[in-house]
Structure 1
Amino acid sequence: MKDKTVRVFLVIFLSLGSVVMMFPFVWMVLNAFKTTSEILAVPPSLFPKVIYLGGYVKLFSESPILYWFRNSLVVVTAVVILQLFTSSLSGYIFAKFDFRFKNFCFIMVLLTLMIPFQVIMIPVYLIVSKLHLLNTLYALIVPSMVSAFGLFLCKQFIETIPTDLIHAARIDGAGEFRIYGSIILPNVRSTLSALAIFTFMGTWNDYLWPLITINDTNRMTIPLALNFFSGQHSKELNVVMAACTVVILPEIIVYLLFQKQFIQGMALSGMKA
């Protein structure tokens, strides 16, 4: 009886929490189908009286939003692919190879997780500037090619792969890249799925770094462009709400498609860590 009461209490508590967290999102989506005057009406109404698509029409007709989406997709795709490759390969090296100062190097990599990006932002900016990458998408891709968190996550999982299996593959004549592609990658698929989702969301929502490296309107990514667009249409709340709704849709789609892999990867990584 006590367990049932606790279970009911948890269900009610989580349901209320879900409603509180979902309400701003629902409010934003519904306001995108209202006129600005209806949004500002007192008392406010949750649902629009009439479905109004003027906000979306103005969004797509008066802004290069497709260019902004293309820029974000290019950056996100490149960063995800590069991080998965570098994290899994370096994780394999740290997990299954012995070399001098291995533990010291790994500790130094982990220490970078304790350093906020704002601390190294200026040195990274100077390096990117010296490479003549400012105001290009490469300025957003190159500094994000590697991930200390991704390396740690992959190393933890690769250590669980039997070393005898790798030795057997070497005896059969398999090279290191063959072992990496045929043995390592299939066994860390759930980890890479979780890392890919984290990387996607972090890169998609990154605002600070594009803000200081991108000046051209046509090269802006979605978060930076959204701020720029909202400033131009600050009095047209329905247009701003439409832009916010369109921007957040890819994240929702990605999470819904890979929810199972994400939860599985996080659960396993938590157990291993």
Structure 2
Amino acid sequence: MTVTLPKPAPPQGHPLSPRNLWSAALSSYVAIVVVVLIVALPLLWMVLSSFKSPAELITTTPTLFPESFAPTNYVEAAKRIPLVRLFFNSVLVTVIGAGIKVLLAIMTAYALVYVKFPFKNVIFAGILVTLMVPPQVSMLPNFLLISQLGGVNTYWGIILPGLGTGFGTFLLRQQFLSIPKSLTEAAEIDGAGHWRRLWQIVVPVSAPTIATVALVSIVFEWNDYLWPLIIITDPSMMTLPVGLNTLRNSEASALGYPLLMAGSVAIIVPVLIVFVALQRYIIAGLTQGAVKD
């Protein structure tokens, strides 16, 4: 007959002791909870305020929840500005602009890694230089060029100047460099050309990084304010950020705060939905190309 003796508890100085485990849990989870609250509470306050009346916001005794969740402010905001039209404009510009931007980044990064041509490193250095130049520097030249081409108050006039993405090209190039060469060499031996190697091998393997570049591009296109403000003068062609600024100018008093909150929710919620849909790729995409094999 065998007798099983209980295992002795680890000493207090041991890494697995209850005291160390509790201190580690508190030091990590408390920081996470604090950061989440700092990020989430303003968003929650904005969403709840979008349902409040001006009297509920402009008071010395504010309350968290509104008296009614009726979408009155959203209806009123849609009357002040063509909210549905602006939403359609933003979706169209974001989908086309971000899609072309990601496609160009994929093809440029592939060429920089797998295609042999002169001055390849010089071209890549030039792409990196674009990351150091503020976009405001190119506003005037872009406006002169697009206006001379007839792009004022057009969708392509909004989209065209921002199609190049140095960040996406750099990130995808680093990812493509980390792909084992045996994969592409085996496909080349089987007779696959550059086009098949790109879309059947390189792109599927690099899906997390491509999703990260797509997310960054979508957020940038959706939130872009300065360039659409410059190139668009027709209210029906404005995007949501420009329309929200128009709504703010028309509601200069504090009584318009609920309408501004409703417009802000209309801008932020679609980006949050895209972020939730792609969030599992973000960490993998940012770290996948960090180490070269």
Amino acid of the residue matched to residue 192 of structure 2? Answer: A
Q: Distance in 1 between matches of 2:231 and 2:167?
A: 24
Matching residue of 1:29 = 47
Alignment-derived partner of residue 253 in structure 1 = 273
Tell me the distance in 2 between the aligned counterparts of 1:13 and 1:166: 44
Counterparts of 1:270 and 1:60, CA distance in 2 = 46
Residue matched to 2:85: 67
User: Size of the alignment, in residue pairs?
Assistant: 272
1:237 aligns to 2:261 (yes or no): no
Q: Which moved more, 1:48-57 or 1:24-33?
A: 48-57
Q: Which one-letter code corresponds to 2:278 in the other structure?
A: F
Query: How far is the alpha carbon of 1:45 from its aligned partner?
Result: 1.3
**Is 1:12 aligned with 2:30?**
yes
Task: Spell out the pairing of 1:85-96 with structure 2 (5 A cutoff).
Answer: 85-96=103-114
Instruction: Please say if 1:122 is aligned against 2:143.
Output: no
Instruction: Supply the distance in 1 between the matched residues of 2:215 and 2:129 (Cα, whole angstroms).
Output: 23
In 2, the alpha carbon distance for the partners of 1:271 and 1:160 equals: 7
Query: For residues 75 and 204 of structure 1, what CA distance do their matches in structure 2 show?
Result: 8
Mapped pair 1:138 → 2:151: no
CA distance in 1, matches of 2:282, 2:152: 34
Q: Which amino acid aligns with 1:115?
A: V
Shift of 1:35: 0.8
C-alpha distance in 2 between matches for 1:255 and 1:222 = 18
Residues 81 and 243, structure 2, Cα contact 8 Å, conserved in 1 = no
| Root-mean-square deviation over aligned CA pairs | 1.7
Q: Distance in 2 between matches of 1:269 and 1:140?
A: 32
- Matches of 2:271 and 2:57, distance apart in 1: 26
C-alpha contact (below 8 Å) 2:48/2:66 kept by paired residues: yes
- Is 1:206 aligned to residue 199 of structure 2? no
Q: Tell me which stretches of 4 or more aligned residues in structure 1 moved more than 6 Å.
A: none
Q: Residue 62 of structure 1: CA displacement?
A: 3.7
Query: Is the 2:82–2:236 Cα contact (8 Å) retained in structure 1?
Result: yes
Could you list the runs of 5+ residues in structure 1 that have no partner in the other structure?
none
Q: Which has the higher mean CA deviation after the structures are superposed, 170-179 or 100-109? A: 170-179
CA distance in 1, matches of 2:271, 2:155: 20
Q: Please, which moves more after superposition, 47-56 or 72-81?
A: 47-56
Contact kept in structure 1, 2:176 and 2:202, CA below 8 Å: yes
SS at match of 1:236: helix
CA distance in 2, matches of 1:79, 1:184: 23
Cα-to-partner distance string for 1:72-115 (whole Å, 9 max, x where unaligned): 11111111211121111111111112222111111111111011
How far off is 1:175 after superposition?
2.4
| Structure number with bigger Rg | 2
Is the partner of 1:159 in helix, strand or coil?
Answer: helix
CA shift in 2, pair 1:17/1:178, >3 Å:
closer
Structure-1 separation of matches of 2:185 and 2:27: 53
* Overall identity of the aligned pairs, in %: 32
- One-letter code of the match for 2:267? V
Q: What stretches of structure 2 of length at least 5 have no aligned partner?
A: 1-18
With the length of structure 2 as denominator, give the TM-score of the two structures.
0.87
Aligned to 1:108: 126
* 1:94 match: secondary structure: helix
